[in-house]
């Protein structure tokens, strides 16, 4: 009975119903689109962090990252080949990347600059770390005596691909050691910190330069980042002297702070959109209900309770909101399949020196959330509009002319 009456009421004034549908559709589309934009942006941030520098996370000896050690090499990972072999046995771990970071002077023969280097397995890392964005030359790969420089560092030393550089660094025993290498590539991650002071060489060269067979850490490449919690649990249970840290913690300043900022921004925008929807529906519903004051008085005079009338008005609001939400969702999906299909470029963010392409990424959970929130907002707006009439005495309501 209530369903039939609610549907008939919506068709009574088609123009007013269309306004309600438009209000709800725009609110739903705005929520859905903004959430998809944030998701796409965060996925690009994550992709850049994981595949440019950190991997899905890294393994160190316990407490290594939290302490300032006078002799950090004493806390590096011993027997790295055995550790790497055991890490690869963990379900979900597809790649392991031993690394050794160190400070060094990079010299072009006439000028020297302090820089931060990392010894890597060039062949293993070339496929996984694809967002490092080599702009000149090639990734390190199998270049035994090669070095890849950040663009800012290469520019400061006026170095080009094919030229040779000298690295000078202290061994773990305190003696000075050096290596003569050829520049095989210049990369540009977009992170000023990396591009201005970072370089890569082959791990064996780094170990010889520091006179050690240890590695500082092992970065992990997972099949799915969602497997990290389980992988971390296995590492904690299997390797008594090691701990695993996800990239979100390693890159907290850039990635995790961006996540927190965008989530807070979305919460504020969501509140504003829902408030606008409530006001829009309230305004439209108030006009409709005032015209039906006499009708509502007659319903109450015939024995209908306030609860029944509120249920009727809530159903009307819910039907209109459901139809409007469906329209809003379909519009966003259509836009994402056409105009926004190829993505768009975003300007550089804080600490980043290059723009990047992002996409609107939608999934069913976002659609359900947006539709539900707007549905609730529309029902709230309708009920608020009905309260004034319901508080009116029946005799007064019956005398009203719509």
| pLDDT of res. 90 | 95
27, 274 in Cβ contact below 8 A? yes
Does residue 245 sit within a domain? no
| pLDDT of res. 166 | 95
Q: Which residues of the chain have pLDDT under 50?
A: none
- Domain boundary (240, 267, 291) is at 240
Q: Which domain holds residue 154?
A: 63-240
Q: Are both 319 and 291 inside the same structural domain? A: yes
Q: Are both 309 and 216 inside the same structural domain? A: no
Does residue 366 sit within a domain? yes
| pLDDT of res. 49 | 84
Counting the structural domains of the chain, the total is: 2
Q: Are both 277 and 144 inside the same structural domain? A: no
Report the distance separating Cα 85 and Cα 55, nearest Å.
18
Q: Are both 84 and 39 inside the same structural domain? A: no
Phi, psi of 201 (to 5 degrees): -135, 170
Does residue 143 sit within a domain? yes
- Domain boundary (240, 271, 300) is at 240
Q: Are both 11 and 85 inside the same structural domain? A: no
Q: Are both 270 and 215 inside the same structural domain? A: no
Does residue 246 sit within a domain? no
Give the C-alpha distances (Å, rounded to integers) separating 265 from 36, 259, 372.
13, 10, 20
| pLDDT of res. 70 | 84
Does residue 40 sit within a domain? yes
Helical residues (DSSP H) of 177-246, grouped into ranges = 192-195, 203-210, 228-238
| pLDDT of res. 319 | 80
Report the distance separating Cα 271 and Cα 288, nearest Å.
26
Bridge pairing between strands 146-150 and 176-187: parallel
Does residue 260 sit within a domain? yes
Helical residues (DSSP H) of 50-186, grouped into ranges = 80-87, 122-128, 151-156
Q: Are both 208 and 132 inside the same structural domain? A: yes
Does residue 82 sit within a domain? yes
Two structure tokens written together for 188? 């540009």
CA quadruple 38, 42, 45, 48: dihedral sign: negative
Q: Are both 22 and 99 inside the same structural domain? A: no
Q: Are both 77 and 156 inside the same structural domain? A: yes
What tens digit of pLDDT does each residue of 84-108 get?
Answer: 999 999 999 999 999 999 999 999 9
Report the distance separating Cα 183 and Cα 144, nearest Å.
11
| pLDDT of res. 304 | 65
Two structure tokens written together for 78? 């011993």
| pLDDT of res. 122 | 92
Does residue 247 sit within a domain? no
Q: Are both 304 and 224 inside the same structural domain? A: no
Q: Are both 305 and 392 inside the same structural domain? A: yes
- Domain boundary (240, 275, 303) is at 240
Q: Are both 45 and 70 inside the same structural domain? A: no
């Amino acid at each position: 009975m209530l369903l039939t009456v609610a549907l008939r009421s919506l068709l009574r004034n088609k123009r007013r119903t269309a306004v309600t549908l438009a209000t709800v559709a725009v609110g739903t589309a705005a929520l859905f689109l903004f959430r998809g934009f944030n998701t796409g942006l965060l996925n690009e941030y994550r992709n850049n962090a994981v595949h440019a520098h950190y991997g899905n996370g890294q393994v160190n000896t316990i407490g290594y990252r939290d302490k300032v050690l006078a002799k950090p090499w004493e806390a590096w990972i011993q027997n790295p080949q055995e550790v790497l072999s055991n890490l690869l046995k963990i379900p979900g771990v597809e790649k392991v990347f031993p690394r050794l970071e160190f400070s060094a002077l990079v010299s072009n023969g006439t000028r020297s600059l302090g820089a931060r280097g990392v010894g890597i397995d060039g062949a293993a890392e070339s496929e996984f770390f694809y967002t490092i964005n080599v702009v000149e030359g090639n990734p390190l790969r199998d270049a035994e005596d090669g070095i890849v420089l950040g663009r800012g560092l290469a520019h400061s030393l006026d170095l080009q691909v094919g030229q040779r550089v000298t690295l000078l660094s202290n061994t773990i025993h305190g003696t000075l050691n050096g290596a003569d290498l050829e520049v095989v590539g210049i990369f540009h991650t977009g992170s000023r910190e990396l591009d201005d002071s970072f370089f890569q060489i082959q791990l064996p060269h780094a170990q010889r330069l520091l006179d050690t067979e240890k590695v500082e850490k092992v970065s992990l490449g997972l099949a799915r980042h969602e497997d990290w919690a389980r992988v971390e649990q296995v590492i904690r249970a299997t390797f008594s002297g090691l701990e695993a840290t996800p990239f979100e913690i390693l890159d907290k300043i850039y990635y995790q702070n961006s996540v927190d900022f965008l989530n807070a921004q979305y919460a504020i925008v969501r509140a504003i959109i829902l408030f606008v929807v409530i006001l829009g529906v309230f305004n439209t519903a108030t006009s409709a209900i005032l015209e039906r004051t006499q009708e509502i008085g007659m319903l109450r005079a015939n024995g209908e309770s306030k609860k029944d009338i509120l249920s009727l008005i809530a159903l009307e609001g819910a039907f209109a909101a459901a139809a409007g939400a469906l329209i809003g969702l379909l519009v966003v999906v259509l836009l994402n399949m056409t105009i926004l299909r190829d993505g768009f470029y975003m300007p550089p963010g804080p600490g980043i020196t290059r723009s990047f392409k992002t996409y609107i990424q939608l999934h069913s959970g976002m659609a359900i959330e947006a539709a539900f929130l707007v549905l609730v907002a529309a029902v709230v707006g309708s009920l608020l509009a009905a309260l004034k009439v319901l508080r009116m005495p029946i005799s007064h309501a019956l005398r009203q002319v719509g």
